[in-house]
A and B are shown apart, each in its own frame.
Chain A
Amino acid sequence: MDVVVLNLLRRGPSHGYEMVQTMKRIEGLQIREGNIYPVLSRLETDGLVTSYSQPSTDGPPRKYFRLTEAGQKALDEMNRHWDQLISSLEKIRKGAAL
């Protein structure tokens, strides 16, 4: 789930509710809505994301999250790993010589 949240934030700052709505629209990424908050909390404690408050027109201020420099590096590493994994899996599925 970390890699999903970090990739969502690569597009720009976002708040938890918005990220959940985005994930709900993508097949296979539906999650239990509340689960995103402990994940965001953990990523923030680890220094991969940072949060700030921004006034909202339809309620109390919203808490936005954005990637930190460390988060960007971690995400690059995670994406490389995933790309490698998917590529390797594809090779196996296509019966490439091992």
Chain B
Amino acid sequence: MNAQYRHSQPGYVTIAAGLIMVTAGMITYAYGMPLGTILALLGVFILVWGYKLTVEIRDGILKFWFGPWVFWKNIPLENIAYCGPFKGVIFGWGIHWFPGGWLYNVSGMKAVTIVLKSGKKIHIGTDEPVRLIEAINSALRPAGGDDSSEIWSEIKSDYLGRVEQALSAVRHPRSFEILADIGSHLDQRFAEITQQQRTWETFQKIITEMGPPADYTELVGQQQAMDKPILSAGYVITLVLVLAAVITGLIVLPKVLNKNVIPTQKQAEGLTQHEQTVDAAIEAAESWLKLIDEDKYSESWEQAAEFFKKYVSREQWKNSLDMARKPLGKTILRKVINSTYTTTLPGAPDGRYVVIQFESSFENKQNAVETVTPMLDSESRWRVSGYFIK
């Protein structure tokens, strides 16, 4: 059976929110913040889930669902007691609790309230509340072969749609209330005509007596129509969300960029100096390690920092290497895995140090970590002040 009613409202707010989150997530992820992935994935979910809200009436059931079919709800028409305009202020989009029932919406500030026979309320967001109410009420009417009711329903719906369009054109702030009043008026007119009078001609006469839709725009007053703020509450909230995202980006990004990506000129100079410092220390450490690789233990002691030599004698050093290094055999591979510049080290005087870790492989030990700590001496030369193998 064909749907008696089906309409999808685009979720402009949810699309905007999703895009902002995806963009913000991608930017933050690109700059090394792992939370960016979660933010971006959440944004994708919101985009897929909330890009539209569809309402359908078919086979005695009112259905509505988000996106392609992400979340849906079926309400048998027989469970509906009343359907009318949502009276309240919408303060958010998605699925949220509203006094009296759950509100499901993706954009805009309009909704329809459905009161179930159980007393529960459900509010469904829509950009054409009058037509939806009319469609639900039409579907609720008992089927009894009364074709005139269906014809009237179509004529009424068409008229209300045209009035809705006319009022929307002048952005009248109370168009929804006016449409609801006109709908009630038409219901009253229909209720007062007898079964025999229920003909297409009578219905057309009633519509003619209501007046052309263009009349309404003139009667609400041009000034009043224009009184509606250009930025409605929905637009303001969207604007605030976008601005919040932009401001957050402007606050967070420079910090991230300054820290990890694009240094200022001064910082760049400092960074270059720092890199040069570390490179020189690594070079000194590698030269020194080469002495040990070549079993030149005594010479390595000679080349070490004064601080080192002060605490470790030449003999102690040779003995230590004989015990710890010699059994490992020839060096097969060595590469720097970490280097940290520091001015303080536990148990050592303040100075300029670079703690370097090498991932090393020896003839008799495949995986080892060598930690070498060169320090800058009084002659501005890098000399090793510490050495450990693990």
Expressed in whole angstroms, the Cα–Cα distance for A52 and B280 within the complex equals: 85
Contact check, A42 vs B224: say whether CB atoms are below 8 A apart. Answer: yes
Expressed in whole angstroms, the Cα–Cα distance for A40 and B174 within the complex equals: 11
Question: Does residue A95 face the partner (Cβ distance < 8 Å to B)?
Answer: no
Contact of B220 among A16, A42, A60 (CB under 8 A): A42
Contact of B219 among A33, A42, A59 (CB under 8 A): A42
B interface secondary structure, majority: helix
Contact check, A35 vs B174: say whether CB atoms are below 8 A apart. Answer: no
* A-facing residues in B139-185 (Cβ within 8 Å): 163, 173-174, 177-178, 181-182, 184-185
Instruction: Tally the A-B contacts, defined by beta carbons under 8 Å.
Output: 68
Which residues of chain B come closer than 8 Å to A20, judged between CB atoms?
185
Known A45-B174, A60-B184: A32·B210 in contact at CB below 8 Å: yes
Contact check, A42 vs B210: say whether CB atoms are below 8 A apart. Answer: no
* A-facing residues in B203-230 (Cβ within 8 Å): 209-212, 215-216, 219-221, 224, 227
Expressed in whole angstroms, the Cα–Cα distance for A58 and B84 within the complex equals: 16
Expressed in whole angstroms, the Cα–Cα distance for A84 and B178 within the complex equals: 34
Contact check, A37 vs B215: say whether CB atoms are below 8 A apart. Answer: no
Which residues of chain B come closer than 8 Å to A63, judged between CB atoms?
181, 184
Contact check, A38 vs B209: say whether CB atoms are below 8 A apart. Answer: no
Contact of A38 among B84, B220, B227 (CB under 8 A): B220
Which residues of chain B come closer than 8 Å to A1, judged between CB atoms?
219
Which residues of chain A come closer than 8 Å to B307, judged between CB atoms?
none
- In order of increasing CB-CB distance, the 7 nearest A-B pairs are A32-B211, A34-B210, A38-B219, A38-B220, A37-B181, A41-B174, A34-B211
